[in-house]
Amino acid sequence: MNLYRSTVLVCGGTGCTSSGSHNILERFETLIQENGLENEVMVVRTGCFGLCEAGPVVLVYPEGSFYSHVKVEDVDEIVSEHLIKGRIVTRLLQKGSIDESGAVKALDDVDFYQKQRRLALRNCGVIDPENIDEYIAFDGYKALYKVLNEMTREEVIDTIKKSGLRGRGGAGFPTGMKWQFAYNYDNDKKYVCCNADEGDPGAFMDRSVLEGDPHVVLEAMAIAAYAIGSDEGYIYVRAEYPIAVKRLQIAIEQARAYGLLGEGIFGTNFNFNVHIRLGAGAFVCGEETALMASIEGLRGEPRPRPPFPAEKGLFQKPTILNNVETYANVPQIILNGWEWFSSIGTERSKGTKVFALGGKINNTGLVEVPMGTTLREIIYDIGGGCPNGKKFKAVQTGGPSGGCLPANLLDTPVDYDNLIAAGSMMGSGGMIVMDEDNCMVDIARFFLDFTVDESCGKCTPCRIGMRRMLEILNRICEGKGKDGDIEKLETLAQNIKNTALCGLGQTAPNPVLSTLRFFRDEYEAHIYEKRCPAGVCHKLLSYTIDPAKCKGCTACARVCPAGAISGSVKEPHVIDKEKCLKCGACIEKCKFGAISKK
């Protein structure tokens, strides 16, 4: 066995790969070969490190140097200075990754990671996801061995129930209870399914786990299969995740080759096989019954319940369905005990939660925090607040099914119950930050436009009701809002929540209801004052030239495509609002700040 003096970890997640990290890795391998360092330096492609804003990311151990925004041309310097001469390239270090004495901080001491606790993401950015040996070296498949050789099926289910693990896919249903229901039904065939569809805009939690630690999902599914008495499973993953799909396929082949999938696992009479099914990007297929219909080759539409999937699910057989993040916690619960997991988080929300932090935030990326961490801690202490000194306005949690929470709720603890009480929900883990430049009516319209487009159309409340809501929002944003529109939106929203067939339809009005609750004044300004306070809604904008600031340089008039600006040289100019196209070209050209939009 070769002992390397240095290890270079190169992020191979989708974000860094799209920025060229694969070329960076190849350059490292080439230079290490050319300098005869192949027996001294190991280069490893990992999954996502979490801090996507800093990508492409390279970590060099044993020093723990955190290099960010690395380019291919920087690799030569890292090799010559750091790997050959032992001198850290300080200009490439991530901001805040060295202390006052100039020493490199441990990764957990960097601001972005200080308040995080990585359980589901524990191997992401640490191991090569395409090498089963590295997963095994980090206790991989040890939990599966334990349940097959030391635990009864009932003991496995009891452990998951006592841990307090709840579904991380949105609804938060107790995982152990779901397994218990499927265990209770006798049948000649049962199925274990994994929801890796992840259709929420801005969400990439499950994708990152599959890209960085695919074996943890396979191991957890095998544990679940043993617990309920199943021998077959399906992973439903969207085709838009090519890296995740590739690494899943590699992981399945490796696990079969090692005898960790297939027949007689670990020398027992337990058999389990896993298949991958690619989804076509339909948001509704994130709903469990629609997902199962899609696996069966049918149109992805929800089915009425009862019967629930635990009784009649995939191919009308007892089935359990959990999402990627839920499964990622299972092996650690088995190895460390339910008491360990239950000690993390809050009374009714145990463990940690992974969030995809995006929008108007400095540190975009993947965040995993203990349940009960406040929104303020996530957005400011971890996320670094809004860029360019802008004022925080709202945060959208739960994707299209969630709600927008204002600044006065920043101290809300993030868990299932507190988010619902505040007017939002946990959802699968999307967290989109908005600043003072966002119009909340337009935000509600954006999410509703998404759900209208993604509606399967099976039930009338969702198919027709949401379209009527979107028409009202479009009118309001175009300056055609009428007295009574707000009340119509509220009535339609409540009717849809109470009558839609599936959970996606029932929660689709949440962005509208939450913005009406917390930002009603913006709706009223649009309707009664024909004004967009944030200056976003194009048809409500008004461009004005301040005569006190205008120098009469004529620059604005020369770039106006509609000829809407007039005035003499060295005299204040004016804008003809009837001709104005509201394109903003004049503001960009004015050097004196004389033009404003309202």
Is pLDDT at 1 greater than 70 in this prediction? Answer: no
Contact yes or no for 440/476 (Cβ under 8 A): no
pLDDT(297) > 70: yes
Question: Residue 201 — pLDDT band, cuts 50, 70, 90?
Answer: confident
409-436: per-residue pLDDT in tens? 999 999 999 999 998 998 888 899 999 9
Asked if 123 and 138 touch (Cβ cutoff 8 Å), the reply is yes
Residue with tokens 């670094």: 384
Per-residue pLDDT at 525: 96
Residue with tokens 């399945």: 252
Residue 2 scores a pLDDT above 80: no
Band the pLDDT of 370: cuts 50, 70, 90: very high
pLDDT tops 90 at residue 542: no
273-279 vs 319-323, strand pairing mode: unpaired
The H or E element containing residue 474 is: helix 466-477
For residue 326, the SS3 value is helix
CB 301 within 8 Å of CB 295: no
To the question of pTM greater than 0.85 for the whole model, the response is yes
Cα(287)–Cα(267) distance, rounded to whole angstroms? 37
Mean pLDDT of 335-341: 98
- 411 near 398, Cβ under 8 Å? no
Give the relative orientation of helices 466-477 and 520-528 as an angle to the nearest 10 degrees: 60
DSSP string, 480-503: ---TTHHHHHHHHHHHHHHH-SSH
CA distance 460 to 501: 9
Span 296-317, average pLDDT:
94
What does the pLDDT average to over 172-191? 96
Residue in 300, 354, 324 with CA at minimum distance from that of residue 175:
324
- Band (202; pLDDT cuts 50, 70, 90): confident
